[in-house]
Amino acid sequence: MSLRFGILGPPVIWQHDQEIRLTTRRSRAVLAHLILSPSFSASVDRLIDVIYGDAPGKSARNQVHRGVGELRRHGVTIEVHDNVYTLDADEETIDAFVFARLCDRGRAAARAGDHAEGARTLRAALALWRAPALAGLDSTASLTAASAWNERRLSAMEERIDADLALGRHRELIAELRDLTDAHPMRERFYAQLMLALYRAQRGSEALAVFAGLERLLRDELGTDPDPELRKLQLRVLRQDPGLGRQRLSGVNGPRHDEPAARPPAVPRQLPPRPGALVGRDGELAEAVSALRGGVGLLVMAGPGGIGKTALALEAAHRVAGDFPDGQLYADGSGDPGETLKGFLSALGVREIPDGVTARSVALRSALAVRRVLIVLDGAADPGMVLPFRPGSAGSAVVVTSRSALALLRDAHRVTVPALTGADARRLLAATVGEERLAAEREAADRIVELCAGLPVALTIAAAKLAARPHWPLKHLADRLADPSAILDTLRHDGQSVRPTLRHGYAALSPRLRALARAIGCYGVPEISSSVAAALAGLPVDTADNLLAELAEAHFLVPEGPAEDGGFRYRCPELLLAFTAERAAAEDAEPVRRAAVERALGTWLTLADAAHALLRGRDHAIPRGTAPRHPAGGAEPGLTWLADHLDELMTGVRRAAATGLAETCWELAIAPLALLETGPHFARWLESHQLALDCVRQAGNIRGEAALLYSLGQRALLVGDYVSAGDHADRALELFGKLDDRHGKGLALRLRGDLHQLHEDLAMARDAYEEAASLLRESGDPVAEADALGGLAMVFHRTGEQEEAQVCLGRALELCSEGGSLRSEAQIRRGLAKHAVRTGTLEKANLEFEHALDIARHLDDRVMQSQILLDLGTTRILLGDPEAAQQTLACAEEMALSSGLGRVVARTRTARAFLAAAPASPPPSS
């Protein structure tokens, strides 16, 4: 279906020149704002914002969806991906873009002296208008967009009238110009054109009357006078200047061009060729072109290396070249300003070129004073590289590309060139690789886009490599890019490489920033906080925070938001991370790199220690090593810190293993033990510990191996793998014994006691618990001692020694209070509740279970919750409340299933089956 779209008037659709009537405001608004959005794409929230403004109704989202649906029913193709709508349209099918292109051609023809072609083309452009732009839409965004397009229409009218005046059509223009001055009483250029047309028609007195009327109007309405150039025109009419019969207007109608023309002998045309089709840059390109045509004298295009700033600047420059008839100059902005100025002056026909940057800058301003010239400086590093080239008067413009926003150039118009969005990056790949090949491996394509960091230079190389190797699956390339040691070599093809681009940006950094960038590279973790950066560089946190901000300004980092330490979080894309790691390996000695990583991981140990202390009370119930800790700034972990940062701790284990930091590696692995015991993190528990075990065994770190085996034994016990739990506990006990590590031996014996009890070997369990309690008391660990006493109490329960059990539980509760461990307190209260069940005080048991359950919920300990719910369910059977018992047991089973606790699931199902078969009889106690 051949469709065309219009916004130069009410939004409309044509099919084969037949108008399709859009009956609702919402469909017209959706169509208009999709057309006006970059790449014809806009999210639902963006459409709501531009259509309804600050006060959208409750049905605004639904209205947008319905508007899209209406357009689709008329045959309009609108795709949706990730909640973003994209209109499938070409600029050639939209009247506004056809108008803009015709205007460019008309202007260029007129400035080249072909006024007939200029007038004809501009008249064709204006014929596309049916009414004011976006007529019928009244949102703030609609009115703003309409105002910009209506201004372009008036400018095109002025330029078309200029061309007609140059062709001698002054008599035909008088009536039209009178209508235009009536319709636009503050637009002085129409008055100037009317005065010139009247003068050339031998109606000079009327021309003077037009000026007098405008003068009165401006003074009465605004308290101002007409433009000085317009007053000059009045004086020339008064003097009957013969030059008015053969000359275009100056000032209000553009620069003066007397006959013969006073231009330099040659007009420089130094712009490199157009870059070809740009992908995903419609919004930035439109902004740049609009700014240059709107009279902006300095335009800065800022973005990281490889982002496509040069291509964007050249395309914008070519589009507005007709607005700068006296030439276009181009130079590498990183070159010697003095030599660049010399070249520019020579190109402009200046014969005597002075020495020195300052003198040449003055000469350039003089040469540009009566010209309209566009200067493009590609890759300026700082404001000092730009200032010598700035014109001293209006008419000419400078376009600068830079990695920096050049914020000190306060009056510059800035266009930020961001990384390509996922959709645009896929379009760039598809242009070379083919849409079908991308669609066949969508996940791999998305991974390639992510690893190329949205940089067109990287994506272009990746696409070229895939096109040259059609036998390569996309996944093969994605896997190579995912390897930090291979990504830079992979992004190299046919003489193109990302390395020069990245090296150029790196070289522009100060020595301190380069040192921090290298430290981040050898750390190898994309997420960076101020505390970690401070540790990496050995700097105060405030200093590191400022350096991170500077790296972000240089586009080596991406800001992610506030951090817990009071600074900010940043992310380093994998591509840049690999490059800075390569620089670190080349420039920094291995001990320096190792020490930086050790300090950074030390901040995570400091934070994990603090989080563990909140849950278990200082360094209780966990083996500790001698890995160095590093201050962590102002971060204050809360109860959920370990859960919130488990991924970062697992990453730390991998980095420590890769760097050979065995002591740090095993300590980071067991650091979240207070969380791991609560479930459901059993898979990551095993993964991190196996990695750490390989590391400590390779380093011969026996204590680290013992600690990890103890922790793995605890995990195996919870998941019901009693054989592995026994093997790990025995090996840990043996290693701790060899080291004469009494605390570690006490922890391993407590675990051994749990296993003996499960196997009904109560005598062995009692011995293990008693020895464990003694060793842990001697080691000053009241919480682990309480755990051992709690286990011992369970043995006494089962041997019928209830008084001894009560004494153990009472002492254990005191130790929990002393050690500050809420988790151990919940376990002991669970033991007190079980004791109450055995002694027949069921109401007391119910209260203790509820108290323990409240603590477990507070800690979000799913392992303990499922165990307590199981006990509470069986207790409610004994209390004669089978309905409550069934509900409680169902909750216990669901939670145990989600946490991977096979033993608890089995016991819960047994209790529920018993309850269903004999609701009046309690199940056997366990």
Q: What pLDDT digit, counting tens, does each position of 137-157 carry?
A: 888 888 888 888 999 999 999
Measure CA 407 to chain center. 22
CA separation for the pair 850, 872 (Å, rounded)? 8
CA separation for the pair 505, 151 (Å, rounded)? 40
745 token code pair: 């031996």
Name which of 401-410, 749-758, 915-924 the model is least confident about.
915-924
The alpha helices in 239-322, defined as continuous H runs, are: 282-293, 309-320
Among candidates 825, 761, 853, 834, which has minimal Cα distance to 621? 825
396's CB contacts (< 8 A; 6+ apart) are 297, 324, 326, 368, 371, 372, 373, 374, 375
Strand order in the sheet with 397-402: 328-332, 374-378, 397-402, 298-302, 413-416
Q: Which pairs count as long-range contacts for 229-234, CB under 8 Å and 24+ apart, including other chains? A: 229/192, 230/188, 230/191, 230/192, 230/195, 233/192, 233/195, 233/196, 234/195, 234/208
Contact 48, 83 (CB under 8 A): no
Whole-number Cα distances in Å, 737 to 253, 441, 702, 728, 742? 96, 55, 11, 14, 7
Among candidates 304, 275, 504, which has minimal Cα distance to 418? 304
868 token code pair: 């307590």
Find the mean pLDDT for residues 870-889: 86
Strand order in the sheet with 568-571: 527-528, 568-571, 558-562
**pLDDT over threshold 80, residue 256:** no
Find the mean pLDDT for residues 746-750: 96
Find the mean pLDDT for residues 113-123: 90
Q: What is the pLDDT of residues 812-846, one digit of tens each?
A: 889 988 888 777 888 888 888 888 888 888 888 88
The C-alpha angle with vertex 124 and arms to 122 and 126, in degrees rounded to 5, equals 70
212's CB contacts (< 8 A; 6+ apart) are none
Give the model's pLDDT for residue 635. 67
Strand order in the sheet with 41-43: 41-43, 84-87, 78-81
Find the mean pLDDT for residues 451-474: 93
**pLDDT over threshold 60, residue 601:** yes
151 token code pair: 């201004």
**pLDDT over threshold 50, residue 807:** yes
Of 639 and 287, the structure prediction assigns the larger pLDDT to 287
**Other Cβ atoms closer than 10 A to 220:** 8
Which helix (H) or strand (E) segment holds residue 726: the answer is helix 722-738
Name the one residue in this structure whose structure tokens are 């080291």.
739
Give the model's pLDDT for residue 565. 67
Find the mean pLDDT for residues 804-813: 90
Give the pairing of strands 84-87 and 78-81.
antiparallel
Among candidates 529, 500, 536, which has minimal Cα distance to 515? 536
How many H-runs (helices) and E-runs (strands) does the chain carry?
42, 16
Q: What is the pLDDT of residues 3-17, one digit of tens each?
A: 999 999 999 999 887
Contact 793, 826 (CB under 8 A): no
What share of the chain in percent tops pLDDT 70?
A: 96
**Reported confidence tier of residue 632, pLDDT bands at 50, 70, 90:** confident
**Reported confidence tier of residue 921, pLDDT bands at 50, 70, 90:** very low
Q: What is the pLDDT of residues 907-920, one digit of tens each?
A: 888 888 888 875 44
Among candidates 171, 158, 35, 173, which has minimal Cα distance to 106? 158
Among candidates 70, 79, 67, which has minimal Cα distance to 20? 70
Find the mean pLDDT for residues 610-617: 86
**Reported confidence tier of residue 866, pLDDT bands at 50, 70, 90:** confident
**pLDDT over threshold 50, residue 257:** no
CA separation for the pair 917, 660 (Å, rounded)? 59
* Whole-number average pLDDT of the chain: 88
3-state secondary structure of 400: strand
Q: What is the pLDDT of residues 648-700, one digit of tens each?
A: 999 999 999 999 999 999 999 999 998 898 877 899 999 999 999 999 999 99
Name which of 43-52, 119-128, 407-416 the model is least confident about.
43-52
Contact 269, 324 (CB under 8 A): no
**Reported confidence tier of residue 111, pLDDT bands at 50, 70, 90:** confident
Give the model's pLDDT for residue 261. 35
Give the model's pLDDT for residue 730. 96
36's CB contacts (< 8 A; 6+ apart) are 7, 145
Name which of 62-76, 127-141, 226-240, 446-460 the model is least confident about.
226-240
Q: What is the pLDDT of residues 161-198, one digit of tens each?
A: 999 998 888 888 998 999 999 988 888 999 999 999 99
Among candidates 488, 487, 443, 438, which has minimal Cα distance to 467? 438
Whole-number Cα distances in Å, 915 to 281, 903, 911? 68, 19, 6
Measured distance between the N- and C-terminal CA atoms of the chain, rounded to whole angstroms = 74
Find the mean pLDDT for residues 418-423: 89
**Reported confidence tier of residue 483, pLDDT bands at 50, 70, 90:** very high
178 token code pair: 């009178």
Give the pairing of strands 527-528 and 328-332.
unpaired
Contact 273, 266 (CB under 8 A): no
**pLDDT over threshold 70, residue 924:** no
Q: What is the pLDDT of residues 752-789, one digit of tens each?
A: 999 999 999 999 999 999 999 999 999 999 999 999 99
**pLDDT over threshold 70, residue 127:** yes
Find the mean pLDDT for residues 547-564: 88
The alpha helices in 294-351, defined as continuous H runs, are: 309-320, 337-347
Indicate if the alpha-carbon torsion angle 88, 92, 94, 100 is positive or negative: positive
Name which of 53-57, 337-341, 410-414, 818-822 the model is least confident about.
53-57
Q: At 185, which amino acid appears?
A: P
Name which of 468-472, 558-562, 617-621 the model is least confident about.
617-621
Say if residue 442 is exposed, middle or buried (CB neighbours under 10 Å; 0-12, 13-18, 19+): exposed
**Reported confidence tier of residue 860, pLDDT bands at 50, 70, 90:** confident
Find the mean pLDDT for residues 575-590: 95
